[in-house]
Amino acid sequence: LQNALDSNVLGPKFTWILSSSVRFDSSDQKFSQQLIGMLTVEPAIASTVGAPINTRLLNAACDIWQQYENETFPGLANIDNYALFAFDTTWLLIQALEQLCSTTTNNSSSCTSFVDSSYCFYRRFRNSNSLFNIINNMRFLGVSGSVQFNVNTTDRIGGAYYFARNAQPSSNGVAFVPVLTYTVNNGWQSYAEANVIIWPGNSLITPGSVATLNGVTLRIGVIASAPFTVVGTATNSLEQATPQLTGYVPDLIAQLQTDLGFISDIRLAPSNLTYNQIIQKVANGDYDIIIGDVTITSARRKIVGFSESIFD
């Protein structure tokens, strides 16, 4: 996010979707207009969308937590969702191992034994297939919601929930507020305490799928190479000779400028530079874009991005 701020690729020109919310400090508030409109999509527990959870198990776990480490207990409402997911995962593993050991009839080895190896990645749980079969047939109501898996998917069956938060103006500058919830059956729905989504630029209008370049100045590098870019000479009003660029590339830039509304700052690449050196200048930030007869190679893809090839 800091790199995005430094590169000026946040709002109002771009909409960012994060996988977790960010705690803004006082130094971030001066960028509030750029931060407004960001979205997060985060895993949620069942109670977030009004589905049941195992409150009895949750309360019992919290009682034990407070009994042994009361100084670390954040309060029931402040327990991180990932802590609840981890609890249910551990609880699932405990129950699965308990069931495995109660049904294992091979007395020659422990139900939790491993095939030994001096190399840790070659160590293998001896009864792994049986354990996976048990897990795939288990179902219980956990502290994060319904827990059930299937051999064909890594996500929980019917128990995967998400919610979206939106960076909006607040009394302290900018804060993330919940705006949408997601369930497998109902898809995306408005949050129960619905907040309208504020898009970048403090707008209520949903942006398009393409980044807007209207009014943005682009430093466009072009390469002298006929017929793509032909360098000629023109005389200005002061009787001074100036380079005049013609060809496919200047015509393409003019058409794109008309369609997208950006401001073009066309810069002719020095003739003593190789194509690799010119492309490196894009990676270094000397140009925003290069348009020309540039060959796409794997080495170049590692440092810059390429558009689809443009041809007549």
pLDDT band at 34 (very low <50, low <70, confident <90, very high): confident
Instruction: Supply the pLDDT for residue 28.
Output: 60
209 found inside a domain: no
The residue among 148, 182, 200 that closes a domain is 148
State percent of the chain over pLDDT 90. Answer: 50
The verdict on 165 and 242 lying in the same domain is: no
Q: Is residue 98 part of a domain?
A: yes
Residue 312 lies in a domain: no
Q: Tell me which residue range forms the domain holding 175.
A: 2-48+160-190
Predicted confidence band of residue 119 (pLDDT cuts 50, 70, 90): confident
Tally of domains in the chain: 3
Residues 103 and 246 grouped into a single domain? no
Whether residue 263 lies inside any domain: the answer is yes
Would you state the structure tokens that stand for residue 156, as one six-digit string? 């929980």
Does residue 72 sit in the same domain as residue 131?
A: yes
Highest mean pLDDT (candidates 19-28, 100-109, 111-120, 248-257):
248-257
The pLDDT score that the predictor gives to residue 26 is: 59
- Same-domain status, 228 and 272: yes
Residue 195 lies in a domain: no
Q: Are residues 238 and 293 in the same domain?
A: yes
| pLDDT band for position 147 (cuts 50, 70, 90) | very high
Question: Contacts by 122-127 with C-beta closer than 8 Å and gap 24+?
Answer: 127/100
Residue 254's pLDDT is what?
94
Q: Give, in degrees to the nearest 5, the angle at Cα 34 between 30 and 37.
A: 125
Q: How confident is the model at residue 157 (pLDDT cuts 50, 70, 90)?
A: confident
The answer on 252 and 174 residing in a single domain is no
Verify that 285 and 142 share a domain, yes or no: no
pLDDT digits (tens, 9 = 90+) for 204-245: 988 877 767 888 899 999 999 989 999 988 777 777 777 789
- Identify the weakest region by mean pLDDT among 23-27, 116-120, 163-167: 23-27
How high is the pLDDT of residue 29? 62
Check whether residue 70 and residue 128 sit in a common domain: yes
Q: Is the pLDDT of residue 109 over 70?
A: no
pLDDT at 27 over 60: no
- Are both 62 and 108 inside the same structural domain? yes
Answer with the one of 117, 148, 179 that is the final residue of a domain.
148
Out of 55-64, 110-119, 249-258, 277-286, least confident range: 110-119
Q: Which residue has the higher pLDDT, 41 or 128?
A: 41
pLDDT of residue 144: 94
Q: Which of 148, 173, 205 is the last residue of a domain?
A: 148
Q: Can the peptide bond before residue 52 be classed as cis, meaning omega within 30 degrees of 0?
A: no
Claim to verify: residue 33 and residue 171 sit in the same structural domain = yes
Look at 92 and 171; give whichever has higher pLDDT: 92
The reply to whether 81 and 118 lie within a common domain is: yes
Same domain, 8 and 79: no
